[in-house]
């Protein structure tokens, strides 16, 4: 039975954001995913992996603009969750862990989805998502599918290590990045001399053999996660759970996601994963509905106790004052980098009427995460030399794109579509007054700025505010 989601209000944060910039022109948000998918392919954000071979279902490549957006998002997470915090350490672990890891974690036993086959069209579906299966193309007289009984399908991808192909050489590509945080817990705590409470964060690839990859990159078979495992005393679990759910919502809002398209949904007891005592999803309103982009979980001492048991190593800690020996409770925040990139792109996408039947498509990405921050556009090729000098100077601080070809209006439109927040135009007056025109992507306002002041003007505008 599906419960109505309980939405947790974040009045203070939301109120602050509701007052943020409203577009002044007639503007349409993204309604059809196809529009975004086509922009992403056309402009080199994201496109099917192995495209020349017809693609491979559930795998995506990030092109020159996509990789910049993704890297900016990862750097923002790392800065905020790891670097700015004295109580968090970062690590980067191997994708393939000892196979016992996945027995201890419960993935071998539990990490599966219910699978059904249609005997007529031979397609496979997730039994809990059959309402999205659509009519069966192979059944004459009726469009109903002819489903088999549901059976459990394990989502972990397997591989072989070494030259032999026996069972002992079988390994898994990790299904989540956090398990090696648990197995490295003791080493990291001792080497960093951290005391409870503290956290360990990691960004990396994860692999799941999803039955039905869909909704562009939303459900992929290879994706990236940024996970924090925060270890605290069991008596402090509620306090830290509450702290991290607020902190993570604030993160998504600071990225520039529209606050009215974000909500937090608490899991009912019947929905909780085997390792979870409590869970809240951060959900974003995609064109295909409200969907999870991050999970915040109270994992209790499930992982540390299981890895202690399976490895025979005591992963407990001793309180320096009370001498109590205990297994810390884990509060986890697990965000999908690809899903958040997708939310950012959906949220930023807009089509604006400019009058006279002209429209422009733009990505209103926050300048701090936009792939290109500044485009340098000389009005004429004859002005290339001084414009190139500005480009070289700005490249030391910003991600810069240079383009001297074609009509300036068309060049602006191309940058709007790439989400570039600022265009700097070197024109025929620049040599005389030493000023360039800076055009703002969202308002399309133009300002004359002295060349020596350019970096000072752009710098704070390309950063996250306080
Ligand atoms: P779902 O219910 O949508 O399958 P989940 O609850 O299994 O997701 P978690 O195991 O909590 O997801 O993983 C944490 C995050 O990793 C998710 O919030 C999501 O952003 C990301 N993620 C999980 N599975 C995928 C996937 N197949 N493709 C892209 N991102 C994913």
Q: What is the pLDDT of residues 209-268, one digit of tens each?
A: 999 899 999 999 999 999 999 999 999 999 999 999 999 999 999 999 999 999 999 999
Atom 2, ligand 1: residue with shortest CA distance: 292
pLDDT of 6: 42
Q: Distance between terminal CA atoms of the chain?
A: 43
- Full-model pTM: 0.91
Could you list the beta-strand ranges (E) of 135-192: 151-154, 158-160, 170-172
Ligand 1 centroid to Cα of residue 92, in Å, is: 20
- Cβ–Cβ under 8 Å, residues 252 and 293: yes
pLDDT tens for the chain, 466 residues: list them. Answer: 333 334 444 555 544 444 444 445 688 999 999 999 999 999 999 999 999 999 999 999 999 999 999 999 999 999 999 999 999 999 999 999 999 999 999 999 988 889 999 999 988 888 988 887 888 988 877 888 989 999 898 999 999 998 777 777 899 999 999 999 999 999 999 999 999 999 999 999 999 999 989 999 999 999 999 999 999 999 999 999 999 999 999 999 999 999 999 999 999 988 888 788 999 999 999 999 999 999 999 999 999 999 999 999 999 999 999 999 999 999 999 999 999 999 999 999 999 999 888 899 999 999 999 999 999 999 999 999 999 999 999 999 999 999 999 999 999 999 999 999 999 999 999 999 999 999 999 999 999 999 999 999 999 999 998 5
Which residue has tokens 């979870």?
Answer: 276
Substitution candidate for ligand 1 out of 339, 342, 346 with most atoms within 8 A of CB: 339
The atom of ligand 1 lying closest to the CA of 223 is: 29
d(CA 133, CA 147): 11
Measured from the Cα of 337, ligand 1's closest atom is 20
Q: Residue 394: which residues within 8 A CB-CB, separation 6 or more?
A: 374, 376, 400, 424, 454, 455, 458
- Whether 280 and 265 have beta carbons less than 8 Å apart is answered as yes
C-alpha 424/C-alpha 391 separation (Å) is: 9
Looking at ligand 1, which residue's alpha carbon is closest to its atom 22?
A: 336
Return the closest-CA partner of residue 117 out of 143, 145, 142, 86. Answer: 145
At residue 203, what are phi and psi to the nearest 5 degrees?
Answer: -115, 135
Give the pLDDT confidence score for residue 302 in this predicted structure. Answer: 95
Label residue 149 left, alpha or beta by phi (over 0 means left) and psi (-120 to 50 means alpha): beta
**Which atom of ligand 1 has the smallest separation from the CA of 208?**
27
Q: How far is CA 273 from CA 112, 186, 238, 258, 398, in A?
A: 11, 25, 18, 29, 43
Which atom, in ligand 1's list, is nearest to the CA of 339? 20
Q: Are 306 and 104 in contact (CB under 8 A)?
A: yes
Phi, psi of 279 (to 5 degrees): -150, 140
**Per-residue DSSP letter, 51:** G
Going by CA atoms, what residue is nearest to atom 4 of ligand 1?
219
- What span, in angstroms and rounded, lies between the C-alpha atoms of 361 and 441? 11
Query: Residue 230 C-alpha to ligand 1 middle, in angstroms?
Result: 19
Mutate to test the pocket of ligand 1, among 70, 245, 292 (most ligand atoms within 8 A of CB): 292
Q: Nearest C-alpha to atom 10 of ligand 1 is from which residue?
A: 176
Environment class of 164 (CB within 10 Å of its CB; exposed 0-12, middle 13-18, buried 19+): exposed
Distance 152 CA to ligand 1 centre (A): 18
Kindly report the protein residue whose alpha carbon is nearest to atom 9 of ligand 1. Answer: 295
Pocket of ligand 1 (CB under 6 A): 176, 208, 210, 219-220, 223, 225, 292-295, 334-336, 338-339
pLDDT value for 19: 41
C-alpha–C-alpha distance, residues 169 and 171, integer Å: 6
**Centroid of ligand 1 to alpha carbon of 336 (angstroms):** 6
By most ligand atoms within 8 Å of CB, the mutation choice from 299, 334, 337 for ligand 1 is 334
Residue 227 CA: nearest ligand 1 atom is 14
Nearest CA to ligand 1 atom 21: 336
Token digits of residue 133: 């299966």
Distance CA 448, CA 457 (A): 11
What pLDDT score was predicted for residue 21? 45
Reported in sequence order, the residue ranges of 161-197 that DSSP labels E, i.e. its strands, are: 170-172
Say what the pLDDT of residue 169 is.
86
């Amino acid at each position: 039975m599906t419960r109505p989601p309980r939405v947790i209000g974040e009045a203070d944060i939301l109120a602050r954001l509701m007052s943020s910039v409203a577009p002044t022109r007639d503007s349409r948000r993204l309604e059809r995913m196809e529009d975004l998918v086509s922009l992403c392919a056309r402009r080199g954000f994201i496109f099917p992996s192995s495209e020349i071979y017809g693609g491979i279902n559930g795998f995506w490549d990030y092109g020159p603009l996509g990789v910049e957006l993704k890297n900016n998002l990862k750097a923002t997470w790392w800065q905020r969750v790891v670097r700015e915090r004295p109580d968090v350490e970062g690590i980067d672990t191997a994708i393939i862990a000892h196979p016992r890891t996945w027995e201890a974690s419960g993935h071998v036993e539990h990490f599966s989805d219910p699978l059904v086959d249609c005997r007529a069209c031979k397609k496979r579906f997730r039994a809990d998502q059959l309402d999205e299966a659509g009519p069966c193309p192979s059944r004459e007289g009726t469009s109903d599918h002819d489903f088999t009984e549901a059976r459990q399908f394990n989502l972990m991808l397997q591989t072989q290590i070494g030259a032999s192909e026996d069972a002992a050489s079988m390994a898994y590509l990790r299904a989540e990045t956090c398990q090696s945080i648990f197995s490295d817990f003791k080493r990291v705590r001792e080497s960093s001399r951290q005391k409870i409470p503290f956290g360990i964060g990691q960004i990396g690839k994860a692999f799941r053999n999803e039955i039905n990859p869909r909704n562009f990159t939303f459900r992929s078979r290879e994706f990236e996660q940024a996970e924090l495992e925060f270890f605290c005393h069991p008596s402090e679990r509620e306090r830290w759970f509450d702290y991290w759910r607020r902190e993570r919502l604030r993160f998504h809002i600071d990225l520039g996601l529209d606050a009215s398209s974000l909500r937090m949904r608490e899991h009912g007891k019947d929905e909780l994963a085997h390792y979870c005592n409590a869970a809240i999803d951060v959900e974003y309103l995609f064109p295909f509905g409200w969907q999870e982009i991050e999970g915040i979980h109270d994992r209790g001492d499930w992982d540390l106790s299981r890895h202690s048991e399976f490895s025979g190593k005591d992963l407990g800690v001793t309180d320096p004052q009370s001498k109590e020996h205990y297994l810390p409770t884990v509060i986890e925040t697990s965000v999908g980098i690809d899903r958040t990139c997708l939310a950012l792109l959906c949220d930023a996408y807009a089509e604006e009427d400019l009058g006279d039947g002209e429209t422009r498509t733009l990505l209103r990405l926050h300048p701090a995460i936009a792939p290109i921050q500044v485009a340098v556009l000389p009005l004429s090729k004859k002005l290339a030399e001084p414009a190139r000098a500005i480009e070289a100077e700005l490249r030391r601080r910003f991600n810069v794109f240079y383009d001297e070809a074609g009509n300036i209006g068309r060049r602006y439109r191309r940058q709007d579509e790439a989400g570039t927040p600022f265009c700097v135009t070197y024109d025929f007056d620049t040599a005389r007054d030493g000023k360039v025109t800076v055009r703002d992507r969202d308002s399309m306002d133009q300002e004359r700025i002295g060349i020596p002041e350019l970096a000072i003007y752009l710098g704070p505008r390309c950063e996250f505010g306080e």
